[in-house]
Amino acid sequence: MVVIQLQGGLGNQMFQYAIASIIAEREKTSLLVDSTVLENPKKIKNVQTVRNFELGVFNNKYKFADIKKIEKYFNPSKMTSFKKRFNFPFPKIFKEPGYNFHEYLLYLKSPVYLKGYFQSYKYFLSNEEYVRDLFLFSPKQLGDKNLELLEIINKKDTVSVHIRRGDYITNREIQNIHGNCDMHYYLKAIDIIAGKVKNPTLIFFSDELDWVREKFSKVEYNSVFVDYNFGEDSWKDMILMSKCSHNIIANSSFSWWGAWLNKNPEKIVIAPRNWFKDIEMNEKTMDLIPPKWLRI
């Protein structure tokens, strides 16, 4: 049995579910999702943004953990004599020690309970197609407007530009941790891709489209501003990003996945050099960005 504790938004939950799925598949055992932190965020210190279970948009059948049974099962003070008597394997609670890649994690034995973010492309190196298959969706879910945009994306050299604002701007504590990518980053990234791609069409995605439209409306390239996927529909932005030819991402796991799921073998992906505003935290993101992506 592998149990994964979910926390954070869609991008974070995808990292967590992916690594747990890889371990469960290798161990030929069941995978359970623990969503109690999402239901009761006070369980985790310093939770700044309340999140919901967001993986339901993908075509997976999820099994949710019965937390009372899980707490009893993983409590080392309970059932100890029973486990010793019958040589029952002691379950492990694996708490991610840091943001870097930890290869031994891939070889953990069942039963195990996983807590962490597990944000490294290296966890997926031998499992790319398996992980991509975890995050499939039906085109019918996109709706008419997105399907019309998808036709444009499929016909032209398109570049997704994801601009994360929202709580990165309005919440001072989150701002102090993450910071946000400035105009200089985006304009430089656009210039780099425009130097390699003839007549690119820029597809802008953001949680604050009015601001983005105001700042980028005079960019010299053809531009589309996606201003209709909000709230429960925001996941559709990620899918559209993944269908673009190239990607400019924010310091956000959401747009990281949009770029990683992009199957274009010749894609150009530009990512921010500073993933966190905090210097020490930023140094721990060395294993986050694939080597073929350009960090600026």
281 and 163 housed in the same domain: yes
Select from 95, 115, 133 the last residue of a domain.
133
Select from 133, 156, 177 the last residue of a domain.
133
Q: How many domains does the chain have?
A: 2
Q: Is the pLDDT assigned to residue 86 strictly greater than 50?
A: no
164 and 196 housed in the same domain: yes
Residues 195-213: b if buried by 16+ CB within 10 A, e if exposed: eebeebbbbbbbbebeebe
Q: What is the CATH number of the domain that holds 268?
A: 3.40.50
Convert the pLDDT of each residue in 184-209 to its tens digit: 999 999 999 999 999 999 999 998 99
157 and 39 housed in the same domain: no
Q: Is the pLDDT assigned to residue 273 strictly greater than 50?
A: yes
Convert the pLDDT of each residue in 242-255 to its tens digit: 999 999 999 999 99
pLDDT-derived band at 88 (thresholds 50, 70, 90) equals very low
**Pairing relation of β-strands 246-248 and 294-295?**
unpaired
Task: Say if residues 54 and 8 touch (Cβ distance below 8 Å).
Answer: no
Average pLDDT, the chain: 89
146 and 290 housed in the same domain: yes
* Residue 103 belongs to domain spanning: 2-133
**Global pTM value:** 0.90
Q: Is the pLDDT assigned to residue 107 strictly greater than 50?
A: yes
- The percentage of residues in the chain with a pLDDT greater than 70, rounded to a whole number, is 86
52 and 155 housed in the same domain: no
pLDDT-derived band at 47 (thresholds 50, 70, 90) equals low
175 and 291 housed in the same domain: yes
220 and 290 housed in the same domain: yes
286 and 196 housed in the same domain: yes
Q: Which of 24, 66, 46, 247 is nearest to 157 (CA)?
A: 247
Select from 133, 165, 187 the last residue of a domain.
133
